[in-house]
């Protein structure tokens, strides 16, 4: 049994000594001091995954957008609000990580020029000009050397197509994809299901609680991470 425990400690699921940088939650993009563009990410899946990776022995630094969640059991939590702030926090820490996991629902666009004062309602219509935010995940995956990089994809349709496209185009090591906006879990729900893809394979994790799903996904990430490291040494 002691031997078994030792084997297990160094087995395919251990992340002892591995430094993880993980993003979670939504970002908020100010329109004016009162209004913002947001999204429905609760941060629950990301926080649960951060704890599951810590449970496997990893030292987890969490970069989190605004959520209603309490501090998870991780090494450090850095709070941010906008995509630009999340980008800056990740870029300042990424050189010190072995494994980067991007669960955050980062706003793709932000208002071009947020107003200093509250916009008064006057006109019948209003046009909001948006500009692209940096793509944190792509930037990290393109680093040389890059950490082992895991992305998330929340899609309202054609989940596998879009996820495989992102895996290839962004040169990720893994991507976990799920269907949102329907009745089948995802944002603002306690349950979720994921389809996980990597260059050589895939695995479906069926509908279950986000806590259990996070534990299974963490084990799968650890397995792939260690396999790549075994291959490169």
79 near a second copy, judged by CB under 8 A: no
* Positive or negative: CA dihedral 121, 126, 127, 133: positive
Using the rule CB under 8 A, give the single segment among 13-21, 34-42, 167-175, 225-233 that binds a second copy: 34-42
Q: Chain-centre distance of CA 49, in angstroms?
A: 9
Out of 107, 172, 220, 222, point to the residue binding a second copy (CB under 8 A). 107
Residue 78, strand partner residues: 63
By CB under 8 A, what part of segment 169-208 binds a second copy?
180-181, 187
Does position 154 bind a second copy by CB under 8 A?
yes
10 counts as binding a second copy under rule CB under 8 A: no
Question: Which CB atom, from 1 or from 112, has the smaller least distance to a second copy?
Answer: 112
Q: Which two tokens stand for residue 211?
A: 């806590």
How many residues in total does the chain contain?
233
Question: Does 40 interact with a second copy (rule: CB under 8 A)?
Answer: yes
Q: Is 159 in the site for a second copy (CB under 8 A)?
A: no
Q: Cα angle at 173 between 170 and 179, to 5 degrees?
A: 75
Q: How far is the CB of 196 from a second copy (least distance, A)?
A: 20
| Element housing 54 (H / E) | helix 44-55
The yes or no reply on residue 31 touching a second copy (CB under 8 A) is yes
Q: Is 39 a catalytic residue?
A: yes
Neighbours of 168 (CB within 10 A): 12
CA atoms of 186 and 168, how far apart (whole Å): 23
Separation between Cα atoms, residue 59 and residue 136, nearest integer Å:
21
User: Where does this chain touch a second copy (CB under 8 A) — which range of 84-92, 155-163, 210-218, 225-233?
Assistant: 155-163
Nearest one of 203, 204, 174 to 192, comparing CA atoms: 204
Q: Does 112 bind a second copy (CB under 8 A)?
A: yes
Binding span for a second copy by CB under 8 A among 24-32, 46-54, 190-198, 220-228: 24-32
Does 142 interact with a second copy (rule: CB under 8 A)?
Answer: no
| Spatial contact of 82 and 105, defined as CB atoms under 8 Å apart | no
Q: According to the binding rule CB under 8 A, does residue 139 interact with a second copy?
A: no
**CA 146, 147, 148 angle in degrees (round to 5)?**
120
Question: Which residues contact a second copy (rule: CB under 8 A)?
Answer: 28, 31-40, 68, 105, 107-109, 112, 116-119, 121, 123-132, 154-157, 180-181, 187
Supply the residues annotated as catalytic: 39
């Amino acid at each position: 049994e002691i031997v078994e425990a030792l084997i297990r400690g160094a087995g395919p699921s251990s992340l002892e000594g591995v430094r993880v940088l993980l993003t979670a939650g939504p970002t908020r993009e100010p329109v004016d001091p009162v209004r913002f563009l947001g999204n429905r990410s609760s941060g629950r899946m990301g926080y649960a995954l951060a704890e599951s990776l810590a449970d496997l022995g990893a030292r987890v630094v969490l970069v989190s957008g605004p959520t209603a969640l309490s501090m998870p059991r991780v090494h450090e939590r850095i709070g941010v609000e906008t995509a630009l702030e999340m980008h800056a926090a990740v870029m300042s820490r990424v050189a010190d990580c072995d494994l980067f996991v991007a669960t955050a629902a980062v706003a793709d666009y932000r208002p071009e020029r947020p107003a200093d004062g509250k916009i008064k309602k006057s006109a019948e219509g209003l046009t909001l000009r948006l500009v692209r935010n940096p793509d944190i995940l792509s930037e990290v995956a393109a680093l040389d050397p890059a950490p082992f990089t895991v992305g998330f994809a929340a899609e309202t349709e054609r989940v596998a197509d879009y996820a495989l496209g992102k895996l290839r185009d962004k040169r990720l090591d893994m991507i976990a994809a799920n269907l949102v906006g329907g009745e089948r879990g995802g944002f603002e729900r306690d349950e979720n299901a994921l389809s996980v893809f990597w260059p050589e394979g895939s695995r479906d994790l069926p509908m279950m609680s986000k806590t259990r799903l996070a534990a299974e996904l963490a084990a799968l990430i650890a397995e792939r991470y260690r396999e790549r490291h075994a291959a490169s040494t």
